[in-house]
Amino acid sequence: MCGSRMFAASSPKSKRCGDCGFELFMNASAATAAFIINESGELLAVRRKNDPARETLDLPGGFVDIGETVEEGVVREVEEETGLKVEQVKYLFSLPNQYEYSGLLIPTADLFFRCDVADTSTVLAMDDAAESLWIPLAEVKATDFGLHSIQKGVARFLTFALQNT
C-alpha cells in the first residue's frame, strides 16, 4: 500500500508490510468444471489450446469472474468454450488445487458441477478449447486429463457414474 520494499511473509498464506502494516492474504480463486453427458451416455471433454497442460483433455470450465456466482461462472464458461446453453446446474463437489499461470502457482478452489444442456448436437470448440469430443463413459481415462485436480475430479465422478449405470 505504501510502496515499501519491506513486504515479507507473515504466515504461510499472507505477506505483511514492515512499514505500514498492510497484510495481503493469498486466498484461493474460484474455478469451475462441468460434467456434461449426452443422450448416448458420453462425457463432453475439450482439448486444451493453451498451457498449462496444452493439448491434453479437460472439462469445460474456468475461473469465476468478479461479480458472478459460481453457477453463473460455469454456465458462462461452458458457453464460451463449447457454444452449449446450460439449462440446469447441480453442484457435485470441490477440490483444492494450484494452477500455474505466468510462472506463478495460483491457489484455487475447483468446483465441479453436473450440467444439463439444451442441445448437445451443437457443440463447438471455441475460446481456449482446441477441440471438443464426446467420450463413452466406459472409455474415459482420468489420466488423459492434464490438470491434476481435473484428473482427481474425473476419477471421482466416474466412480459414482459407473456404479449407477
19 secondary structure, DSSP code = T
Separation of alpha carbons 51 and 151, rounded Å: 16
Q: Which residue out of 23, 55, 100, 131 is catalytically annotated?
A: 131
Is 100 in the active site? no
User: For the chain, what is the total number of helices (H) and then of strands (E)?
Assistant: 2, 10
Beta-strand (E) ranges in 49-165?
A: 57-58, 61-63, 86-101, 104-117, 129-136
Residues known to be catalytic: 131
